[in-house]
Amino acid sequence: IPPSVQDAMNIVFASGERYLWADKLCIVQDDTEVTQDLMSKMDAIYAGAVLAIVTLAGADANSNIPGVQRKTRLLESAVRGNGSIKLEVELSIDELFKNTRYEDRAWTFQERILSRRCL
């Protein structure tokens, strides 16, 4: 199971939810007909989801979701240090998505628009 999916499983478990749809695992990757059929249903899948976990960081499913695993939190803690550094950044949601691989993926527009909540 790819690291990003393992992290998503941890998020789902911690939230008390019982089910996870992971495109990487739930969509047959080497059957065009099945893939097309499922892609035509993605609007219903996203609209019915309690939460969409949007992974902006990382190039692919083999990347961890930052902050889920202890090792990804260590850098965040080290940067905070003793409070001598203050960094304020204001970015719009569109800026957060810009320059990521997210916009290159097939059905991210539906995911972003139809999901009730995104994490």
Give how many domains the chain has, as a whole number.
1
**Distance from C-alpha of 106 to C-alpha of 86, rounded to nearest angstrom:** 38
4-8 contacts at long range (C-beta below 8 A, 24 or more positions apart): 4/55, 4/58, 4/60, 4/61, 4/62, 4/63, 4/64, 4/65, 5/61, 7/64, 7/65, 7/68, 7/69, 8/53, 8/65
* Residues spanned by the domain of 11: 3-114
Cβ neighbourhood burial of 24 (10 Å; 0-12, 13-18, 19+): middle
| Phi and psi torsions of 52, nearest 5° | -105, 125
Is residue 101 domain-resident?
yes
CB 112 within 8 A of CB 54: yes
Q: Which of 60, 52, 43, 42 is nearest to 105 (CA)?
A: 60
pLDDT, tens digit only, all 119 positions of the chain: 888 899 999 999 999 999 999 888 888 889 999 888 988 888 898 889 898 888 777 767 778 877 777 655 445 555 555 656 655 556 566 666 666 666 666 667 778 788 888 88
Q: What's the pLDDT score for residue 79? A: 55
SS3 assignment, position 118: strand
Is residue 119 domain-resident?
no
CB 72 within 8 A of CB 66: yes
